[in-house]
Structure 1
Amino acid sequence: MAKTSGELEREFIHGLGSSTGKDLEGWISSLNESGLEKRNDLIKWLKEKHGFGHMYASLLAGIYFNGGKPVYASEKDLLDNQFEGNTHMRTLYEELKQAIMNWDPATEFIIKKTYVSVCRKREFAAINIRKGEIRLGMDLGEMPFEQGIEKARLTGPMTRISHMVVIRDNSGIDGKIFRLLETTRNRTHP
């Protein structure tokens, strides 16, 4: 299984001093002194002036804009943030998660910053929480869009998540969803 964002961030912070000569506190201080205020400007500065790769520059900029605290320290906090302003959707999310676990107990749910990754060895679906709805995105390849199966409009997951089903209440958690999930799981896990 791939490392979670939290694991990558922890490893990055732990190795920062030995790989760069500055610990996290030192880098936060340097970022403050840079005078740069935009995330992309900081990433560019870290890459060009300090030799950071894109992923590590992005991680450090994310921590900086999170008040110097790790962004991915707590999966619970990440998930809570996704429900901010949409707390009424939590019950529906839990029902969907449980239904998917009942359908395939080997499924894992990995909380990301802006979405929930649904995977086995690889991600085969993604969940976005929106106002009044849950968007379940799936990799359905060239399957035509039709009533109830839309072009994916999710925040965060890879572009291979091509289709989505919008769920507004528990009546939307039906056999159709599990047939689609089986299709996407089989596409990503041949």
Structure 2
Amino acid sequence: MEKGILEKTGKPIDHWINVVKASKIEKHKAIVDFLKSEHGFTHGYANFVSLKARKSDAGSIDDESLLTNQYKGKEHLKPIYEKLLEQINEFGNDITVTPKKDSVSCIRKRQFALIKPATKTRIDLGLKLKGKALTERLENSGPFGSMCTHRVRLNTVEDVDTELIEWLKEAYEKSE
């Protein structure tokens, strides 16, 4: 997006952040409307600049704060996350773990797993296992849509068992 803004407007993201700050507009929608009407931005670019100017995008928040916010009020689920990460990191040293606002992506060459504290009592683990048959436990992707092909609901650390680790490893291996 930053490269696109520079190409589209001839000015870098820092310039547009300063324009927003100089406008003294603070609300997201008002900033988006301002950039669209006064500077001819498309909605996507206006939204991006507004998030950056207000430092409310995931990229402006450190990983530990993102994780803390994901598990706020769901702290009892964090050991499940930690167990998943421990297992995933054993697959190889070519894995990038990327916390976002509401989930954590595990990427090799492509994303192979997505860990999301979905409710106060459950983590949803999304997996990329194209062509793998569904089971009672290995469900369709549900709310993950096309980001994943399957979902497993995890309520306790014990749910991170041999079967689940095998699915994770398969997803990892298919992502090379």
Q: Into which bin does the TM-score normalised by the smaller protein fall?
A: 0.7 to 0.9
* Residue 17 (structure 2) aligned to one of 21, 24, 36: 24
Report the equivalent of 2:55: 69
Structure 2 unpaired stretches of 5+: none
Structure 1 unpaired stretches of 5+: 1-7
Report the equivalent of 2:153: 166
For the residues of structure 1 that align with 2:70 and 2:13, how far apart are their CA atoms?
33
Secondary structure class of the residue paired with 2:78? helix
For the residues of structure 2 that align with 1:134 and 1:69, how far apart are their CA atoms?
27
For the residues of structure 1 that align with 2:74 and 2:169, how far apart are their CA atoms?
28
Report the equivalent of 2:80: 92
Secondary structure class of the residue paired with 1:159? helix
Residues 1:184 and 2:171 aligned together: yes
Deviations 1:28-71 (A, max 9, x none): 443728xxx664x754663565244665433223245xxx2353
Aligned residues: 168
Of all paired residues, the percent bearing the same amino acid is 26
Residues 31 and 175 of structure 1, relative CA distance in 2, 3 Å threshold:
farther
Check whether the contact 1:89–1:132 (CA below 8 A) recurs between aligned residues: yes
* Residue 96 (structure 2) aligned to one of 101, 108, 112: 108
* Residue 107 (structure 2) aligned to one of 119, 140, 146: 119
- 1:118: how far off? 0.4
| TM-score, structure 2 normalization | 0.75
Report the equivalent of 1:3: none
Residues 162 and 18 of structure 1, relative CA distance in 2, 3 Å threshold:
same
Check whether the contact 2:88–2:169 (CA below 8 A) recurs between aligned residues: no
Residues 1:129 and 2:117 aligned together: yes
Amino acid at match of 1:93: Y
